[in-house]
Structure 1
Amino acid sequence: MTGVVEFVGEPFAALAWMAGPEPDPEAVRAPVTTDAAELARQLRMSVMDAHISALRAQTAMQRLMIRQPGAAPAAGRPQGPAEEGSFKPLARTTVTRLDRTHLDRLAQGDIAGVFGPAYEQDGANPDIRIGEPVLDHVELGRAGLVATSTTADLAAAAAQALRVFAMYLGLHLCLADSMFVEQSCRAEGTASGPLRLTLGTADLVPRPWLRADIECPTGTVRGLTLAVHEKPGVAIGPLQGGVVPAWLGRKGALLSEFHLAHLARGDQGIAFGPEFAHYTGRKATRLPTGGLLLVDRVISIDGKRGQLDTATYETEYDSPADSWYYADTANDSMPNFVYMETSLQAALLIGYYLGPTLSAPEATMSLRNLGGTATVLREVDLRDKTIRQKSKLVSTTILPGSSLQNFEYTLYTDGKPFYQGETLFGYFSDQALANQTGLDAGKSVPTWLEENDPATRRLGMTVPRGKLDLLDYVDVVDGGGEYGKGYLHSVRRIDPHDWFFARHFHLDPVIPGSLGVESVIQALQQWLLDTEPGLTDAGFVVPVGDPFTWKYRGQFLPTDGTSTMEAHIKEVRRAPGRVRVIADASLWKPGLRIYELTDIAVELRERGAQPW
């Protein structure tokens, strides 16, 4: 016997609710009846409700991923790049879906048991808990989360969602004994159906905090804010003399991301100890901020404050695969400027920590890199790697109105060195900075192009992109330059609103020297693409084995108007599937040559080509 059930009414369109108002379940349901047609209709409506609920949850997660480019999707799906300046989680996990068992463990404070050992604090922060679970089936991404609620109390569900997301970001890792502090916020409606949390802002200054919007089909909470705050009497930073308490919250580190964020743009007393508190809010030595802050933690220090002759120390930087610079570089891996910035930032911060400026605490002193030499030791893909740097302060020289510090450093990943160098930093008063004379004793030295006035041709620009769009154009003189092998020239307009001025440095904006170097690298890359069309399936790598030397004797300010670059092709080396170009280069601010780069190299290689 065969039976057929017919549906009475309009055909079911599962996506129709997205185009118009959501149907009111109470308005479409009829009283219980024994009539076969009515029973069929009720069955149809029940099936539709189930489809709508499932589709709404799925669509909420998709919108969450689309809303913020690069938001981390569920495990196993591809992930796009984070935006420059977006909040960088303090820990990373592959766990992106939580069930009731996970939430029960978070209610007990077992964060590492849920998300993994990167979240471990060895029993610290016993009060960082989510409370009795009122959520279920949580799906996490970089931009927020989607969950279902087991309560109609929207305020309670929203508060718990924010706590879960704070744990996911690792905000508890900043402090050793802390508690959640929530800002009361009005909830409109009730919790029903999928609940979506969309991250608005997260930060570590003045204390770790985040703000988010929470919405579901029957209610919203706007601007809900949660902070992680230490309990009364708990130490959160170094003490007088730079003494670091045994435990500040970050396992395996003396100073964490929290302290370095304060050094960059917050309370320097929290970052380095009470002797530095008076620098807060003033022009002073700082780390960069946002996407240019490229050191995360201080692991160890062998040195004492006030002893400036020598010290050794170790630092770490995590380089997630979704970091903005991987998307914006033409390199197959990390761009050269990150090699430079992470190594130089790690070197400078402990030199400053030891106190070279504390002998004249009221003086305004700015830190500037003066030069160095560095060598790439091996090719390595640094995506999702932790870079550990071992540095040594070699010497400090105190001069009237300034002081100089020399450093040596080696960078490691997976226990093996891949980059090493030495560098010189100087601390300068405002007067000393105003009287800089460049590389040529104050003389205005013309470019090679101005002296020779040859015919030029302009390259098509394909290399610069995103935040690393550092060139307006590149002109070429084939067979020109000091070595007769090619010459590159470019002038770039400096916009006072260029993104990097807000990052480098807080209250002391200058163009990072490493980005000046990167602009030369981009010009050489563009030249290689123009002159080596035979390499088809090819990408750029940071060349191994050739020491590169830079010298800075000035700074590019927001008011300088233009920067001028020239590069002289010095050598072109070829091997099967590879070509390397080496050049010398200079950069000018108006009327003054201030950067000199020697043996700067770029390499283009076919994928799979053997090393030199």
Structure 2
Amino acid sequence: MSTVPTTSPDALGFEGTPFDPVAVASPGSGTLPTPVARRAPSQPTGPASTVTPLAELRAGIATAHRAALSAQVALQRRIFRQAFDTGVVTVQALSPARLDAVTTPAPEGAFKPPARTTVDRLDRGALEALSRGEVSAVLGNAYRQPGANPDIRLASDTPLVLDEVTEIGLRAGTLGLGHLRAAYTGNAVAAATQAVEVFALYAGLHLCFADARLVASAAADVGGDDSPTGAELELIVTTIDLVPRPHVTAEVLCGGGGPSVAVTVTVTENPGSVIGPGPGGTLDTWTGRIDAGGGTALLNEFHMAHLARGEQGIALGPEFAHYTGVRATRLPTGGLLLVDRITAFDGARGTLDTQVSYRSEYDSPADSWYYTDSANESMPHFVYMETSLQAALLMGYYLGPTLTEPNTTQSLRNLGGTATVLRRVDLRDRTITQESRLLSTTMLPGSSLQSFDYTLSVDGEPFYEGETMFGYFSDEALANQTGLDAGRHRPSWLDVHANDVTVRRIDLDARRANPADRLCSRRTLALLDWIDVVDGGGTFGNGYLHTRRRIDPHDWFFTRHFHLDPVIPGSLGVESVIQAMQEWAVDSGLADGLTDPVFSIPPGIAFAWKYRGQFLPSDGTCEIEVHIKTVTSSPDGVMVTADASLWKPGLRIYELQDIAIELTERKAPE
């Protein structure tokens, strides 16, 4: 059985500095298994390093950390083994045969595999094909990599002992991270290792590289027999990720008196292979990913994950390596990472005075968390915005505006823009293509500004377009923000008219408690608790909405947006306003005349936003007011437009104009 090289305790690092995810502690030992690499890369040699007090401290921390992991692994094995032996392992049966029929959505932050397949079982012939490297022939066209990864194959250095895989699922298993059941004949540890290799291929982890191999590390529970025959195994995924390298870790329970085996399989690049942009941002070497149109992607999911929370040098090139582990411009992470691949780019790093065009892709699986958490019939508006804005910020940043002052911390902030929905479309299980242009870059002392336009399309047909501006700001520039009103306090409309109006409250708990009510946002997207309404109030006399939201420093989005630089996404501020409008529309009876009402984003309404500040974990509260502008009835339903503002304590920082919602009968979208 093959393993990977271990790292010294001093190699352990945190917040972006990679440590080896492959090393698996032996139960109760506090040590790692002795490794033998399949195809070991050359190792540099040099003089022995001097042991310093800091090195001793780090080594001690590393040893204690690994000992704790050992104890955790042993406890996990005991629980899994006990459940397996008594036949009470909970397996959520989930066949991916039709992704648009998924009933159990992925939670926010769940691992999103680079590829999916309708295959949910593998016979011996399919396993033999995988052992020959015929991955796409078995799993489908989404796994195509013509001419790439000759070393990616099942059981490359051991006899194939799996007989068949009878179940496999991405969202199944006790932990909801993945599950596999298989029959095998032969060595149990080899079978466990091969089962995890199958899962790694099934999840498409190898698709991020053009020249890689599968490297496995396994540690068996010494209480079992490692060589029963004619047995069944059950695999429960415990970790799956793309950083620092694509890897999956699983606990494999072998029947027939076999052991429990902790296995990690990592996709590791072969020596000398290119895994990211070169000096100057050169993109002339394919890194292995095929785009939705069958062409070669320039950057892929692996690079997006590293830009979000890993090594910026891997994501963007060596000039960005010094940003790893420090506060810097990053993509969002987890369920807010909404760009997958860059497929075209005609710019050059350091050339900031010309227009640049680029194209990106985002796959929107039907089980994505935001579909079930939103009151919209399809994708919520904040995802439209984030998909557009993230691709823009990525390529603008790639050109290197922050590299002109490499020793200055610069944070990225969106300043505003306009956007228009062009048509109603269901985006479940679709690939969204974003085509954009960087229109200008303006360098200023302590900051720089970039403006973009963009169009989102699906199947070649545009459905969303707009313009936006981003700024890169030094700490000093961020500290001197004065909001939308030049630092002056502007009271809300309700503050001014509090003694002249009657206020009624919409409490949202009861509606969220009814699982059959599809017209309210819930779970992760439950952004509001209550809404105060002044009927006939507001600037336009058509209704006024007001609420305050408590900001909890532990709110889920702070860990997503951004790594080491937490702020509330501006798009979620927009989503909060939309939710207030939706709740008001239902409470006002606008859905009563509809048989099967749904919310959607109406086409043809140009929406504008302006941000002049950010909500921080320490701000305490977010205040929102909405002025209902128009309520328009038509044979199709009712459309509502509004203007809105958002305050952090003492400062108005967001302004929205012509934000719109629509209530219509459910129908088949375009």
Q: TM-score, with normalisation over the residues of structure 1?
A: 0.87
Quick one: structure 1 residues 222 and 445, their matched pair in 2 at CA, closer, same or farther if it must change by over 3 Å? farther
**2:443 is the alignment partner of 1:398:** yes
Distance 1:85 1:449 in 2: 37
Choose from 228, 242, 245 the match for 1:207: 245
Distance 1:592 1:150 in 2: 65
Quick one: structure 1 residues 148 and 205, their matched pair in 2 at CA, closer, same or farther if it must change by over 3 Å? closer
**Where does 1:83-122 land on structure 2 (aligned, <5 Å)?**
83-122=107-146
Choose from 460, 467, 478 the match for 2:507: 460
**2:531 is the alignment partner of 1:483:** no
The Cα of 1:124 is off from its aligned counterpart by 1.4
**Where does 1:432-447 land on structure 2 (aligned, <5 Å)?**
432-447=477-492
Structure-1 residue corresponding to 2:161: 134
**2:233 is the alignment partner of 1:195:** yes
**2:649 is the alignment partner of 1:590:** yes
Distance 1:608 1:387 in 2: 21
Q: Which secondary structure state, in structure 1, belongs to the residue aligned with residue 412 of structure 2?
A: strand
Quick one: structure 1 residues 73 and 392, their matched pair in 2 at CA, closer, same or farther if it must change by over 3 Å? closer
Choose from 178, 199, 218 the match for 2:212: 178
- Look up the equivalent residue of 1:471 and give its one-letter code: L
Structure-1 residue corresponding to 2:275: 236
Structure-1 residue corresponding to 2:559: 502
Alignment check: 8 A CA contact 2:374 2:522 kept? yes
Q: Which secondary structure state, in structure 2, belongs to the residue aligned with residue 451 of structure 1?
A: helix
Q: Which secondary structure state, in structure 1, belongs to the residue aligned with residue 160 of structure 2?
A: coil
- Look up the equivalent residue of 1:279 and give its one-letter code: Y
Deviations 1:390-420 (A, max 9, x none): 0100000000110000000001101100000
**Where does 1:400-415 land on structure 2 (aligned, <5 Å)?**
400-415=445-460
The Cα of 1:258 is off from its aligned counterpart by 0.4
Q: Which secondary structure state, in structure 2, belongs to the residue aligned with residue 298 of structure 1?
A: strand
Distance 1:505 1:78 in 2: 30
Quick one: structure 1 residues 556 and 223, their matched pair in 2 at CA, closer, same or farther if it must change by over 3 Å? farther
The Cα of 1:599 is off from its aligned counterpart by 0.2
Matched positions, count:
550
- Look up the equivalent residue of 1:599 and give its one-letter code: D
The Cα of 1:606 is off from its aligned counterpart by 1.4
Structure-2 residue corresponding to 1:247: 286
Quick one: structure 1 residues 72 and 328, their matched pair in 2 at CA, closer, same or farther if it must change by over 3 Å? farther
Structure-2 residue corresponding to 1:418: 463
**2:485 is the alignment partner of 1:451:** no
**Where does 1:10-409 land on structure 2 (aligned, <5 Å)?**
63-65=90-92, 72=95, 78-131=102-155, 132-138=159-165, 139-142=167-170, 143=172, 144-187=178-221, 188-190=224-226, 193-217=231-255, 218-251=257-290, 252-309=296-353, 310-409=355-454
Structure-1 residue corresponding to 2:24: none
Distance 2:260 2:300 in 1: 32
Distance 1:563 1:64 in 2: 41
Alignment check: 8 A CA contact 2:163 2:185 kept? no
Distance 2:390 2:342 in 1: 11
The Cα of 1:545 is off from its aligned counterpart by 0.7
Q: Which secondary structure state, in structure 1, belongs to the residue aligned with residue 133 of structure 2?
A: coil
Alignment check: 8 A CA contact 1:75 1:95 kept? no
Quick one: structure 1 residues 92 and 506, their matched pair in 2 at CA, closer, same or farther if it must change by over 3 Å? same
Q: Which secondary structure state, in structure 1, belongs to the residue aligned with residue 321 of structure 2?
A: helix
Distance 2:225 2:609 in 1: 61
Quick one: structure 1 residues 390 and 483, their matched pair in 2 at CA, closer, same or farther if it must change by over 3 Å? same
Deviations 1:233-272 (A, max 9, x none): 1111111111113311112200000011111111111001
Distance 1:609 1:170 in 2: 32
Deviations 1:149-185 (A, max 9, x none): 3324211111000000000111111111111111231
Q: Which moved more, 1:73-82 or 1:483-492?
A: 73-82
Distance 1:334 1:364 in 2: 35
- Look up the equivalent residue of 1:90 and give its one-letter code: P
Distance 2:558 2:109 in 1: 13
Q: Which moved more, 1:92-101 or 1:513-522?
A: 92-101
Distance 1:442 1:474 in 2: 27
- Look up the equivalent residue of 1:270 and give its one-letter code: I
Distance 1:284 1:333 in 2: 33
Q: TM-score, with normalisation over the residues of structure 2?
A: 0.80
Alignment check: 8 A CA contact 2:420 2:464 kept? yes
Aligned-pair identity (%): 62
Distance 2:386 2:408 in 1: 26
- Look up the equivalent residue of 1:215 and give its one-letter code: L
The Cα of 1:78 is off from its aligned counterpart by 4.2
Rg (Cα) greater in structure = 1
Alignment check: 8 A CA contact 2:164 2:182 kept? yes
Quick one: structure 1 residues 73 and 93, their matched pair in 2 at CA, closer, same or farther if it must change by over 3 Å? closer
Q: Which secondary structure state, in structure 2, belongs to the residue aligned with residue 206 of structure 1?
A: coil
Distance 1:470 1:78 in 2: 25
Distance 1:486 1:331 in 2: 22
Alignment check: 8 A CA contact 1:372 1:422 kept? yes
Alignment check: 8 A CA contact 2:601 2:662 kept? yes
The Cα of 1:610 is off from its aligned counterpart by 10
